[in-house]
């Protein structure tokens, strides 16, 4: 088991959560450079309404302008992760592992596979079958049909064998906000949430507990510290 510090950021704006990740990433890189064992971190958070565009994303996938964004009480931020455009907002569980890949004995491809596996196992508890879609990172439902829809987006950054960013799982999310973008650059695939699939809201804290259980199972994380940050 690999000791990992859990930080629950509750609800925090995207920029502040991003800054916290960057500080931890640089800390872990320095510890690795010095040959120190150090700690790994898992940050959980809900963000206020925000659209983020990855470093190789296409601005044309943002379908509304600044005035319309303001009317929706939403921000738009260009970020340093992979992937295209996505939405974060209330009712969505975002997980940011800031970890050393060498300590988890994994590379980027396997790391993303494991993130997908955490989500697939978690939503299976609710009777939802998550799947992978060839050529498209994330977790999907009915992946090989015309009804294909995404329930979880994944976008990461890796620097000096340390990761940041992570996944966003739609739980009780207002899916209307996805109407103002081409999610992850796709124009022919839908978006869904656990709430939509079950036709009722789910207990957010219970879902967090399940996510943590599956991080333990899939990554071998041992959570040694629980920090709650307002």
User: Which residues are known to be catalytic?
Assistant: 184
C-beta neighbour count of 49 within 10 angstroms: 17
**Interhelix angle for 204-219 vs 108-124, to 10°?**
140
- What residues contact residue 186 under an 8 Å CB cut-off, 6+ apart? 136, 150
Task: Using alpha carbons, list the distances in angstroms from residue 51 to 69, 107, 223.
Answer: 9, 28, 30
Nearest by Cα to 95 from 190, 163, 177, 179: 163
Largest Cα separation within the chain, whole Å, is: 51
Of 33, 7, 32, the closest CA to residue 21 belongs to: 7
Strands (DSSP E) found in 89-195: 92-98, 131-133, 136-141, 149-159, 162-170, 190-191
Cα separation, 30 vs 15, whole angstroms = 23
Region for 38 from its dihedrals, namely left if φ exceeds 0, alpha if ψ lies in -120 to 50, beta otherwise: left
3-state secondary structure at position 109: helix
CB-count exposure of residue 98 (10 Å: 0-12, 13-18, 19+): buried
């Amino acid at each position: 088991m690999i000791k990992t510090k859990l930080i629950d950021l509750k609800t925090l704006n995207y920029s502040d959560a991003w800054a916290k990740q960057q500080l931890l990433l640089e800390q872990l890189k320095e510890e690795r450079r010095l040959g120190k064992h150090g700690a790994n971190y898992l940050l959980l958070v809900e963000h206020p309404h925000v659209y983020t565009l990855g470093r190789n994303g296409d601005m044309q996938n943002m379908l509304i302008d600044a005035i319309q964004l303001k009317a929706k009480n939403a921000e738009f931020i260009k970020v340093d992760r992979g992937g295209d455009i996505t939405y974060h907002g209330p009712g969505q569980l975002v997980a940011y592992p800031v970890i050393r890949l060498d300590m988890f004995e994994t590379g980027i491809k396997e790391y993303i596979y494991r993130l997908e596996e955490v989500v697939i196992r978690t939503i299976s508890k609710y009777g939802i079958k998550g799947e992978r879609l060839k050529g498209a990172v994330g977790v999907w439902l009915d992946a090989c049909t015309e009804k294909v829809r995404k329930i979880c987006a994944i976008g990461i950054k890796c620097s000096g064998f340390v990761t940041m960013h992570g996944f966003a799982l739609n739980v009780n999310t207002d899916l209307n906000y996805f109407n103002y973008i081409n999610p992850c650059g796709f124009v022919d695939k839908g978006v869904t949430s656990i709430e939509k699939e079950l036709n009722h809201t789910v207990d957010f804290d219970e879902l967090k507990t399940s996510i943590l259980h599956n991080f333990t199972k899939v990554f071998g994380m041992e959570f040694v510290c629980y920090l709650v940050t307002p």
